[in-house]
C-alpha cells in the first residue's frame, strides 16, 4: 500500500545557510553563468550541469517544491504554476492542437467547464462531456483525434468518483493522455498509481490550506514537465504561467503538515455527513458514506489514514432553504459564505448560483446540483461538538 507521507519524507528538504531550519527564498529573476558559451549550452539544453537561467523558467524554490510534490505523487517531476487554472490550461494546450478532441467529465469545476466549453470551442478543439463514472460512454465518444481524457477525482460538488482505473485502461490502449484534477484529495488519492498520466492541482485549496495565495501545480513524468518548460515550445514557459519564488516557498512550507490537515478535515467531515444523514431530512453527498453512489469506487483509490476529504454537499431542495440555512450558519459564526475550499475554517456556498453557475441547467440537473444544494468545506478550527450541534439545529429548523 502506497504511503504518501513516507514518500514525501523520502525527499529531503534543503535547509538554509547559517544553520537555518528552513530553505531560503531565492528572489532572483535572472541567474549568472561563467561565460557566454556556458549560457549558449544552457539555452540549447546541452549544459553538462544544468543551472538556472531566468525566473519564468526553472528556479530554485519551484524546483524544491516540485521535487517534494513529485515524491508525494509518485511521479518523476512536478512544477508549481501561477494558479490552478494555469496548470489546467498549460496542460491542455501542450497536449492538443486545433482539430483535436477531448473527452471531459461533465462534473468539473465551473472554471474548467467554461474553459473547455467556450475557449476550446473557439479554438477548434472539440470537447465532449460524459459523467466521470461512465466508462461505457467514453467508448462511444473517443475517436482517432482524441488526445486527452480529463477527470476530477472527486467531482465538485456532489463528489462523484471518477472511475479512473477503468477509464485509464481504455486510454492506455489508444495512447490517449489521462489528466486528473486531484484538488479535493491530495494525499488521500494518488492518481498516478491508478493510471493518470498527469495530475493537476489548484494549490489554492488544500495544498496551501489557508486561503492566502492562488497557485497550482502539474505533476507528470520528466518528459512532460520538460516539454512544458521548453524555451521554444513549452506552454508553461511561453505563457508565463510560473509560480513566483515566494509562492513556491510558501507552498513548500505547507507540505510539511498536509497529512495532519487532511486527516483533521476528513474526520470532521465524516462525522458531520453521518449526523446530517441520520436526521433523515435531506440528502447528503459524501463519498465516505455507504449511501454515496460511488462509495465502493472511492475505496479502490484512497490511501489509508487520510479519510475521504473535507467536502460534503447537502441538498436542501429549494433556493429559499439554502438561503435560510447559510444565513443561519453565518449568524451563529459557524461558517463563512465564501467560494473556494480547503480553508482551515468552514466555508459554505450554494453551488448552482456560485461555483457551478457556468454550468448549463441540463448538466446541473444530470449532476444532481439543485438550487438548494449547499457545499460545505469542513474546517478543522474551533470546538467541533458545538459546531456540529449548531449546524444540526439549523437544519432541523428548516
Ligand X SMILES: *Cc1c(COP(=O)(O)O)cnc(C)c1O
User: Residue 339's Cα: distance from chain center in Å?
Assistant: 15
The nearest distance, CB 179 to ligand X, in angstroms, is 11
Nearer to ligand X, 42 or 102 (CB): 102
H helix and E strand count, the chain = 16, 14
The nearest distance, CB 134 to ligand X, in angstroms, is 20
The nearest distance, CB 83 to ligand X, in angstroms, is 3
Nearer to ligand X, 168 or 183 (CB): 183
Place of cell 481504455: 170
Nearer to ligand X, 41 or 214 (CB): 214
Binding-site ranges for ligand X (CB under 6 A): 83-85, 109, 111-112, 152, 156, 181, 183, 202, 204-205, 214, 216
The nearest distance, CB 266 to ligand X, in angstroms, is 17
Residue number, nearest CB to ligand X: 84
Alpha helices in 22-163 (DSSP H): 36-43, 60-73, 84-95, 110-114, 120-122, 135-141
Q: In the 8-state DSSP scheme, what is residue 116?
A: I
Nearer to ligand X, 181 or 371 (CB): 181
Tell me phi and psi for residue 272, to 5 degrees. Answer: -60, -45
Nearer to ligand X, 53 or 247 (CB): 247
Max Cα distance, the chain (Å): 74
The nearest distance, CB 156 to ligand X, in angstroms, is 5
What does the chain come to in residues? 398
- The answer to whether residues 227 and 233 touch, using CB atoms and an 8 Å cutoff, is yes
The nearest distance, CB 56 to ligand X, in angstroms, is 18
User: Residue 141's Cα: distance from chain center in Å?
Assistant: 25
Nearer to ligand X, 53 or 200 (CB): 200
Cell reading at 382: 474551533
Q: What is the DSSP string of 86-97?
A: HHHHHHHHHH--
By CB atoms closer than 10 A (0-12, 13-18, 19+), residue 276 is: buried
Residues forming a β-bridge with 200: 181, 218
The nearest distance, CB 53 to ligand X, in angstroms, is 26
Nearer to ligand X, 23 or 183 (CB): 183
- Identify the helix (H) or strand (E) that includes residue 218: strand 216-220
Cell reading at 47: 549544459
The nearest distance, CB 183 to ligand X, in angstroms, is 4
The nearest distance, CB 155 to ligand X, in angstroms, is 8
Nearer to ligand X, 151 or 395 (CB): 151
Is beta strand 154-155 parallel, antiparallel or unpaired with respect to 160-161? Answer: antiparallel
The nearest distance, CB 118 to ligand X, in angstroms, is 16
How many Å apart are CA 83 and CA 66, to the nearest integer? Answer: 15
Nearer to ligand X, 152 or 166 (CB): 152
Q: What is the DSSP string of 220-267?
A: E-HHHHHHHT-TTT-HHHHHT-BPPHHHHHHHHHHTTTHHHHHHHHHH
Nearer to ligand X, 156 or 168 (CB): 156
- Positive or negative: CA dihedral 383, 389, 390, 391: positive
Amino acid at each position: 500500500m502506497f504511503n504518501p507521507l513516507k514518500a514525501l519524507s523520502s525527499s529531503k528538504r534543503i535547509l538554509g545557510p547559517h544553520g537555518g531550519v528552513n530553505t531560503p527564498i531565492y528572489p532572483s529573476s535572472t541567474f549568472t553563468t561563467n561565460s557566454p558559451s556556458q549560457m549558449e549550452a544552457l539555452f540549447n539544453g546541452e549544459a553538462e550541469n544544468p543551472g538556472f537561467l531566468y525566473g519564468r523558467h526553472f528556479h530554485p524554490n519551484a524546483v524544491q517544491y516540485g521535487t517534494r510534490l513529485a515524491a508525494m505523487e509518485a511521479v518523476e517531476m512536478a512544477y508549481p504554476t501561477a494558479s490552478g487554472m494555469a496548470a489546467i490550461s498549460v496542460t491542455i494546450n501542450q497536449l492538443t492542437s486545433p482539430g483535436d478532441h477531448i473527452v471531459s467529465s461533465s462534473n468539473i469545476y465551473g472554471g474548467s467547464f467554461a474553459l473547455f466549453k467556450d475557449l476550446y470551442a473557439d479554438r477548434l478543439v472539440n470537447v465532449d462531456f460524459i459523467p466521470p463514472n461512465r466508462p461505457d460512454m467514453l467508448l462511444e465518444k473517443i475517436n482517432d483525434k482524441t488526445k486527452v481524457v480529463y477527470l476530477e477525482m472527486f467531482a465538485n460538488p456532489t463528489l462523484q468518483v471518477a472511475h479512473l482505473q477503468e477509464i485509464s485502461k481504455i486510454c492506455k490502449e489508444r495512447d490517449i493522455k489521462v489528466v486528473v484534477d486531484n484538488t479535493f484529495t491530495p494525499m488521500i488519492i494518488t492518481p498516478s498509481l491508478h493510471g493518470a498520466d498527469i495530475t493537476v492541482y489548484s494549490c489554492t485549496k488544500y495544498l496551501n490550506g489557508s486561503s492566502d495565495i492562488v497557485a497550482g501545480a502539474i505533476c507528470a513524468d520528466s518528459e512532460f514537465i520538460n516539454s512544458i518548460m521548453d524555451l521554444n515550445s513549452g506552454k508553461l514557459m511561453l505563457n508565463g504561467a510560473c509560480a513566483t519564488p515566494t509562492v513556491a516557498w510558501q507552498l513548500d512550507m505547507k507540505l510539511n503538515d498536509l497529512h495532519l490537515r487532511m486527516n483533521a478535515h476528513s474526520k470532521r467531515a465524516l462525522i458531520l455527513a453521518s449526523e446530517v444523514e441520520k436526521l433523515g431530512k435531506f440528502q447528503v453527498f459524501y463519498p465516505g458514506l455507504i449511501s454515496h453512489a460511488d462509495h465502493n469506487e472511492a475505496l479502490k483509490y484512497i490511501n489509508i489514514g487520510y479519510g475521504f476529504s473535507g467536502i460534503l454537499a447537502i441538498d436542501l431542495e429549494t433556493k429559499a432553504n439554502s438561503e435560510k440555512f447559510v444565513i443561519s450558519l453565518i449568524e451563529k459564526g459557524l461558517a463563512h459564505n465564501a467560494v473556494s475550499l480547503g480553508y482551515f475554517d468552514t466555508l459554505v456556498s450554494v453551488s448552482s448560483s456560485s461555483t457551478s453557475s457556468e454550468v448549463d441547467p441540463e448538466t446541473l440537473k444530470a449532476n444532481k446540483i439543485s438550487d438548494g444544494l449547499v457545499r460545505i468545506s469542513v474546517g478543522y478550527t474551533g470546538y467541533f461538538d458545538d459546531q456540529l450541534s449548531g449546524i444540526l439545529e439549523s437544519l432541523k429548523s428548516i
